[in-house]
Amino acid sequence: MNIPRTSFPRIVIIGGGFAGISLAKKLSKQEVQVVLLDKHNYHTFQPLLYQVSTGGLEPDSIAYPIRKILKNYTNFHFRLAHVEEIKPLTNEVSTDIGTLKFDYLVIASGSETNYFGNSVIEKHSMAMKSIPQSLNLRSLILENFEEALLTSDLNERNALMNFVIVGAGPTGVELAGALAEIKKGILPKDYPDLDTRSVQINLIQSSDRILKEMSENASKKAEVFLENLGVNIWKNVRVTNYNGKTVTTNSDLTFETATLIWAAGVKGATIKGLDSEAFINRGNRIIVNEFSQIKGCNNIFAIGDVACMESEDFPNGFPMMAQPAIQQGQHLGNNLLRLIEQKPMTPFLYKDKGAMATIGRNKAVVDLKHFKFQGVFAWYVWMFVHLFFLIGFRNRVVVFINWVYNYIRFDREARLIIRPYKKNLKE
């Protein structure tokens, strides 16, 4: 990779998610050369992916060009690259566009869907971790309804109108809520030929409550909200397989469905070279110390979802969400500058800002440290926080207008099959 060496130390960051971007921002105007690598040319605001899948938002509104984030920084280089291997011994990363030497390396490659080794489920189910995946899911949902119109086989039609979501974390819950609102507000008008009352939304959770990372109150209230919207919640049920038609579980329960959405877990998106058992723990995350440093590597760090920094409050690492990633990125930025100046690094301290999830119109649950609340006010807080953290003024305005419009009109206009998922049209 032809990036000229300067007299400044070179910091290579893998990944332009929350962690990578917040680190890059900290390093601007400093005497370092920064190279950011990502396989996409944009940063994705993952918390709103479910709205892209359900036609509430346009994909471009929750993405932001990485080059634009970096454009006023000096000594910054972005490369669209897929990192294939890290070579800690020679301080190199290999990518699909060549090899790059580093002085410091920061792995911020995020997480990917965890199928827990079940390749059959992986093959037949839909995931929602990236914009293309979310658009695939959007296409599939809409294509299913178009197909349901065509069949006279009642079982087939029901399977096409049955949505099974595995995993009742924030993603699963928010998606279930959005689908339930579509069932109520949009489907009867869009498909007058179909009996859309038979649309089923099944949310399956292996443990005994939904949103299990949040407070008991949040779980209970979210459950009530979802049930009022007509979502079927199945707790203490573990999905064992899905062959594209039938979902089997650890009980007698089965589901006939054309759409299984797998939101049951994520794992660290580790990279060859630092993915051996010596480096990773449960959840496939790279073990790091309180300075985000990887075991045995003084100049290699991991932050965000891919990193597992154990602490007293979080013995299995911090939750895999935006806040720890942003905070670790900022903190590591300062530490890297200290390290370069040969000052001692400071340990990372996580400031838990809480968690939240929205269930639908006027309904959300919010857990702050000292204040937990649910309902309309929580919904406003949810919207405000999401707008605030979205990168880019234009994105904020466009998302806000879409929300206002969708709220007033009970509508989601982006229900477009831009790229068919099932059919392959030549164009």
Tell which phi-psi region holds residue 144, choosing left (phi > 0), alpha (psi between -120 and 50) or beta. alpha
Of 120, 224, 368, 397, the one binding a copy of itself (CB under 8 A) is 397
152 binding a copy of itself? (CB under 8 A): yes
The residue (of 343 and 409) whose beta carbon lies closer to a copy of itself is 409
**CA distance between the termini of the chain:** 33
The residue (of 388 and 393) whose beta carbon lies closer to a copy of itself is 393
- What is residue 127's DSSP assignment? -
* Burial category of 309 from C-beta neighbours within 10 Å (exposed 0-12, middle 13-18, buried 19 and up): buried
Compute the CA torsion angle 365, 367, 368, 369 (nearest 10 deg): 170
143 binding a copy of itself? (CB under 8 A): yes
Of 18, 42, 104, 225, the one binding a copy of itself (CB under 8 A) is 42
Of 133, 284, 311, 330, the one binding a copy of itself (CB under 8 A) is 133
414 binding a copy of itself? (CB under 8 A): yes
107 phi/psi in degrees, rounded to 5: -90, 115
The residue (of 79 and 101) whose beta carbon lies closer to a copy of itself is 79
Residues 6+ apart with CB under 8 A from 343: none
Q: At what angle do helices 322-340 and 18-26 cross, to 10 degrees?
A: 30
The least distance separating a copy of itself from the CB of residue 269, rounded to whole angstroms, comes to: 12
Of 118, 142, 184, 383, the one binding a copy of itself (CB under 8 A) is 142
Of 120, 224, 368, 416, the one binding a copy of itself (CB under 8 A) is 416
The residue (of 33 and 327) whose beta carbon lies closer to a copy of itself is 33
The residue (of 74 and 243) whose beta carbon lies closer to a copy of itself is 74
3-class DSSP state of 419: coil
The least distance separating a copy of itself from the CB of residue 376, rounded to whole angstroms, comes to: 24
Of 250, 394, 407, 410, the one binding a copy of itself (CB under 8 A) is 394
Q: Which stretch binds a copy of itself (CB under 8 A): 9-17, 19-27, 90-98, 164-172?
A: 90-98
The least distance separating a copy of itself from the CB of residue 14, rounded to whole angstroms, comes to: 16
Number of residues that bind a copy of itself (CB under 8 A): 61
Q: Which stretch binds a copy of itself (CB under 8 A): 213-221, 298-306, 316-324, 386-394?
A: 386-394
Sheet of 92-95: strands edge to edge? 83-87, 92-95, 98-101
The least distance separating a copy of itself from the CB of residue 343, rounded to whole angstroms, comes to: 30
The least distance separating a copy of itself from the CB of residue 268, rounded to whole angstroms, comes to: 17
The C-alpha angle with vertex 281 and arms to 79 and 108, in degrees rounded to 5, equals: 20
Whole-number Å distance between alpha carbons of 167 and 401: 30
Of 98, 123, 346, 407, the one binding a copy of itself (CB under 8 A) is 98
The least distance separating a copy of itself from the CB of residue 113, rounded to whole angstroms, comes to: 10
415 binding a copy of itself? (CB under 8 A): yes
Residues 6+ apart with CB under 8 A from 37: 12, 13, 14, 15, 78, 79, 81, 83, 93, 95, 100
71 binding a copy of itself? (CB under 8 A): yes
245 binding a copy of itself? (CB under 8 A): no
Residues 6+ apart with CB under 8 A from 295: 278, 279, 287, 288, 289
Q: Which stretch binds a copy of itself (CB under 8 A): 148-156, 241-249, 278-286, 378-386?
A: 148-156
The least distance separating a copy of itself from the CB of residue 122, rounded to whole angstroms, comes to: 11
> Which single residue is written with the structure tokens 């695939």?
136
Q: Where are the beta strands (DSSP E) in 88-135?
A: 92-95, 98-101, 104-107, 111-113
249 binding a copy of itself? (CB under 8 A): no
Of 135, 247, 302, 326, the one binding a copy of itself (CB under 8 A) is 135
Instruction: Note whether 51 and 409 are within 8 A (CB).
Output: no
* Tokens at 425, concatenated: 């049209």
Whole-number Å distance between alpha carbons of 143 and 135: 12
Whole-number Å distance between alpha carbons of 348 and 302: 13
Whole-number Å distance between alpha carbons of 214 and 357: 9
Which residues contact a copy of itself (rule: CB under 8 A)?
1-3, 39-42, 58-61, 63-65, 67-68, 71-72, 77, 79-80, 82, 96-98, 130-133, 135, 142-143, 146, 149-150, 152, 189-193, 392-395, 397-398, 401-402, 405, 411, 413-419, 423, 425, 427
